[in-house]
């Protein structure tokens, strides 16, 4: 297994591409809605456009707030992030009609990298239930040595190909593109947080576990 190393410029460029990919759809919908308002006099169409703008703006805001913590330097003045803030941005990002999010965690400050890992694992979790379902997040243990258990249930649940290799930092292709950067980054954060990630599947249920890595072990 060959570990891939990205330099700072490549890593930042790929993460920026990922964030842009997440927000371009709702921003485009806002632009479309504004064009309808400019061109339409029909009251029904104008109401439709306003509703589209309202929903898309809310979605874009939720995705940016999530990215600020999961990928960015939110709270960079300190070394901890409140799990309540993590829950809030996760619900904004994933709590919709397609995917339900349940969250059981203490209201406490946790080390920044551990919170970033948890949020990135929620993104990974969503990829295991492509047709939607339930993501159940449970956080236990002390802040410095927590255990994360994410349980996903849904139709056609699966562990995506190459996901485990990307989390391990050793993609089979030997390279990482914008499509693969998020799980690769999640693995980087896991190692920085000194945590080990395991995936398993049983029928229509996928489980992701993250726990403190043994001293000297890779995540």
CA dihedral 195, 125, 119, 123 (to 10 degrees): 130
- How far apart CA 108 and CA 84 sit, in angstroms, is 7
Which tokens hold the place of 139? Answer: 């956080």
Q: What is the pLDDT of residue 204?
A: 94
Instruction: Please give the DSSP secondary-structure letter assigned to residue 44.
Output: H
What pLDDT score does 173 carry? 86
The pLDDT score that the predictor gives to residue 214 is 84
pLDDT recorded at residue 76: 55
- What pTM was computed for the model? 0.91
Strand partners, 25: none
List helix spans (H) across the chain: 8-39, 43-70, 83-94, 112-127, 163-167, 181-192
What pLDDT is stored for residue 78 in this prediction?
65
All domains of the chain in start order, with CATH:
8-212 (3.30.565.10)
- Two structure tokens written together for 111: 């080390």
State the pLDDT at residue 116.
96
| First and final C-alpha spacing in the chain | 14
Instruction: From first to last of the 219 residues of the chain, give the pLDDT tens digit.
Output: 678 889 999 999 999 999 999 999 999 999 999 999 998 888 899 999 999 999 999 999 999 999 999 998 765 556 899 999 999 999 998 867 789 999 999 999 999 999 999 999 999 999 999 999 999 999 999 999 999 999 999 999 999 999 999 999 999 888 899 999 999 999 999 999 999 999 999 999 999 999 998 876 655
Do the beta carbons of residue 167 and residue 143 sit within 8 Å? no
Is residue 6 classed as helix, strand or coil in its secondary structure?
A: coil
C-beta of residue 186 within 8 angstroms of C-beta of residue 196: no
């Amino acid at each position: 297994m060959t570990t891939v190393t990205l330099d700072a410029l490549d890593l930042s460029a790929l993460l920026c591409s990922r964030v842009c990919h997440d927000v371009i759809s709702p921003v485009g919908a806002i632009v479309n809605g504004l064009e309808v308002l400019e061109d339409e006099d029909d009251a029904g169409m104008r109401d439709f456009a306003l509703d589209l703008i309202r929903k898309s703006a809310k979605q874009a805001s939720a995705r940016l707030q999530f990215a600020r913590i999961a990928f960015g330097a939110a709270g960079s003045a300190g070394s901890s992030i409140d799990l309540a803030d993590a829950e809030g941005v996760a619900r904004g990002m994933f709590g919709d009609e397609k995917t339900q999010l349940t969250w059981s965690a203490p209201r406490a400050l946790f080390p920044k990298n551990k919170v970033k890992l948890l949020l990135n694992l929620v993104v990974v979790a969503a990829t295991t239930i492509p047709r939607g379902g339930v993501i159940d997040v449970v956080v236990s243990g002390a802040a410095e040595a927590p255990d994360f258990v994410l349980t996903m249930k849904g139709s056609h649940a699966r562990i995506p190909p190459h996901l485990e290799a990307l989390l391990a930092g050793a993609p089979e292709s030997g390279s990482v593109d914008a499509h693969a950067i998020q799980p690769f980054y999640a693995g980087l954060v896991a190692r920085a947080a000194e945590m080990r990630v395991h995936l398993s599947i049983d029928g229509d249920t996928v489980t992701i576990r993250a726990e403190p890595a043994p001293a000297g072990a890779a995540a």
